[in-house]
Structure formats: C-alpha cells, structure tokens
Amino acid sequence: MLYATSQASYWDRVAREKRFSHPLRSDWLSKYLEPQALVLDYGCGYGRTLEDLRGAGYLNTVGVDFSKGMLARSRESLPHQSLILTDGHTLPFKDSSFHAVLLFATLTCIPADTAQRALVQEIKRVLRPKGLLYISDLLLNKDGRNRERYELFADMYGTYGIFELPEGVTVRHHSKEWIEELTAAFEQLEYEPFPVVTMNGNVSSAFQYLGRS
C-alpha cells in the first residue's frame, strides 16, 4: 500500500506536465465492441483516451486513476465524464460490470509481477463474460541506454526491465513472453508491436494487445 501511495504522489507531481501518446485503435474497437458498450479506462491519466473513445463513438465510459492530480486535470477538459479515484489495487465495481477495460501505459507504472497479476485478475472480475481487455504498453528495448538501466536494477527488482527513473518513479518495460503469461486467461484477438514516444520524449518499442475474457 505504501508503495502505491509513493507512486501516486509522483503522478500527482507530474500531472500538469506529462503528455502520453499511445494511440487508440478505433478499427479494433469497432470490430469487436458495440457503440453502446460500457468501457472502463484504468489509469486514465488526464483523460486523453477517454476523449478518443468519445471521438470513436463510445459515450458510456468510466475513468479511474489513483492520482488526484491526474483526475483534476481530466475534469477540466471532460467536466461531465464519470471519473473515480481508486486505491491503486481494487475496483469499486460489481462483478461483470464492463464490456471492455483499457489499460493504456499503466502496466508500466505497476512494475511487479504480483501487482500486475492481481490487477489483471481484478479487471477480469469486473469484465462481463467475453469482455475485452485492451492493453497498450512498453516492450523491452535493445539499445545501450535502456540495456544499461535494465541491468543496473535487475538484481534489486528481480526482473529484467524494471528500473527507476531519476525523476523518482519505478517503471517497467515488458518482454512479449511476460505479456503472454499475464494475459493467459484471455483469448488473444489482436497483437501489434509499434514504436511510441514516451512521456519523456524518447522512442520506445511498444505493443497493443486485445484479448477476450
């Protein structure tokens, strides 16, 4: 819990300055999801993907985040949006509430295997049968700058790809194998690697995954 609290204060601190850019594939959504679907955006940040969902015709959306600062910024651009502050672990929703859950650049902020597993399990609980899990996140990179920091922190965190940023937050880049393991309870519908510009302006390998519960 302490860990979640210290990570949340980082996101509060940077809530006004960061820009995120993982793209929403509206072609994937329209292929598998009805426009009236109820969609949860977990780790919604300042509401960027909620706005994109709205643009793609999905109006029944809920955003959750554990950062008050991020939610405050969301409220400025989306005053009528349903937005909920979470404890970073549990979801205040009944079983089978949502047709789809988005997890955009959020796994990277929840580095440990156990925490990621618990989150995916909690998401599965609130998804309806055959509900969709749509992940966009960072993959391991092979360049020297990234390899150096993966190696520096590998012993401390016990996982290659978890590292600390000098600005005071711990993040993770993922192997494809780990994402396969994490999503093993879902049927994979789509997967695509792509390059993304990170919140600090660097290019990183990334992936998008769409799975069905």
Ligand X SMILES: C[S@@+](CC[C@H](N)C(=O)[O-])C[C@H]1O[C@@H](n2cnc3c(N)ncnc32)[C@H](O)[C@@H]1O
| Tokens 């150096």 -> residue | 148
Rounded to 5 degrees, φ, ψ at 32 are -120, -10
Helices (H), 84-143: 113-126
Q: Which stretch binds ligand X (CB under 6 A): 26-34, 41-49, 127-135, 147-155?
A: 41-49
Binding to ligand X by residue 20, rule CB under 6 A? yes
Out of 86, 116, 183, 213, the residue judged to bind ligand X by CB under 6 A: 86
Of 51 and 190, which CB lies nearer to ligand X in the complex structure?
Answer: 51
CB of 7: closest distance to ligand X in angstroms? 6
Of 33 and 64, which CB lies nearer to ligand X in the complex structure?
Answer: 64
Strand segments, DSSP code E, in the chain are 39-42, 61-65, 82-85, 98-104, 127-138, 162-165, 169-172, 187-197, 203-212
Q: Which stretch binds ligand X (CB under 6 A): 65-73, 91-99, 157-165, 179-187?
A: 65-73
* One-character DSSP codes across 11-39: HHHHTTT----PPP-HHHHHHH--TT--E
Binding to ligand X by residue 206, rule CB under 6 A? no
Binding to ligand X by residue 48, rule CB under 6 A? yes
Report the DSSP beta bridge partners of residue 194.
206
Binding pattern to ligand X, positions 93-112, x when CB under 6 A? -----------xxx--xx--
Give CA–CA dist 96/110, Å, rounded: 23
CB of 49: closest distance to ligand X in angstroms? 5
Give CA–CA dist 3/111, Å, rounded: 11
- Residue ranges in contact with ligand X by CB under 6 A: 4, 7, 11, 20, 22, 43-45, 48-49, 65-67, 70, 86, 88, 104-106, 109-110, 199
